[in-house]
Amino acid sequence: MEFTAEQIAGFLKGTIEGDANVSVNNVSKIEEGRPGTLAFLANPKYQKYIYDTQASIVLVNEDLTIEKEVRATLIRVKDAYEAFANLLDLYEQSKPKKSGISVQACIAATAGMGKDLYIGDFVSIGENASIGDNVQLYAQVFIGDNVSIGNNTMLHPGVKVLKDCKIGDNCVIHAGTVIGSDGFGFALEQNSESRRKVPQVGNVIIGNDVEIGANVAIDRATMGSTKIGNGVKMDNLIQIAHNVEIGDNTVIIAQVGVAGSSRIGKNVIIAGQVGIIGHVTIGDGAMIGAQAGVNRNMKEKEMVVGSPAFDIREFRKASAIFKKLPELYRQINQMEKELNERKKSE
């Protein structure tokens, strides 16, 4: 589909500078712009590309100062990045949705099925499962017994949702993710060095408007529920252990591991490769820097980095000192040498 600058500006409530009739049918990076595509400029580091880009239309912030002639048509908006995301969302919605149920799918007779579904090849839906309206289940998705999937939810190829788990409305779960795998529970037997598996009889409950990346594992609770709140966004390759609870609108970046029974509040940001030990509480609005190791409770809006994690302000002070350690070490050695020489001369 093609859209003119005038149409795009109307949708975004933006202001046009240039040819209002120029049209685009694809998107591109501003540094790799091609004729007939739309790009955006939000980061000032990329401003140099706007003067040479071949993109036909570029979304820019309202306050951007142009220093020389630009060949592309500009559309000024309040936030270029947000506007670009809105356009991509509109583009995705304009694509025709797949529909229908593959003859190669296996659906239990007791499963409840909603309207306007897409169920791909080799999908398996278990006994007493409930599938809402407008759900899309791509090839090789597995839905266990008694699982509930809410309306407008999309499961990409190879997602496994194991028995008794519940997923809300408007969720997206990417390829290879497993919801409801057993929690890691083993008890040391008396008078023995062996460990006995503790049955994991709980489930996972995922709220509405959640997006979960590829190859994520969210373990079922030992008892009760592992809970993922509304609006949570999770990147790829994340491990969420049994009985963890994650509050609404929290963001978790790739390769994070959260140990059992930890409580993570609302609107928390957890950067990549963070490790969180079990049975801790992370307050609402907290921020945890990349590769931090969290081994204690965190207050609301607290910011930490490092391993073990500590307050970001103290970390910055410590980092400044750390850079000076070689010089401090040299000075201490020199002082020690001078002190020893003085003692010998006395």
Residue 41's contacts (CB-CB under 8 Å, 6 or more residues apart) are 30, 47, 49, 50, 58, 59, 60, 61, 64, 80
**Cα 230 from Cα 169, distance rounded (Å):** 10
Q: Is the peptide bond before 157 cis (omega within 30 degrees of 0)?
A: no
Encoded tokens for 216: 């994520």
Count the helix, strand and coil residues of the chain and give each as a percent rounded to the nearest 5: 20, 30, 50
Residue 219 near residue 201, CB atoms below 8 Å: no
CB 119 within 8 A of CB 101: yes
Please confirm, yes or no, whether 279 is among the known catalytic residues.
no
The DSSP output letter for 116 is S
Helix (H) or strand (E) holding 294: strand 293-294
Beta-carbon count within 10 A of 154 CB: 19
| Residues shown for the chain | 346
Residue 114, helix vs strand vs coil: coil
Cβ(51)–Cβ(33) below 8 Å: no
Q: Which of 156, 174, 242, 279 is catalytic?
A: 242
Task: Give the closest residue to 254 by CA, choosing from 233, 232, 272, 277.
Answer: 272
> Among all residues, which ones are annotated catalytic?
242
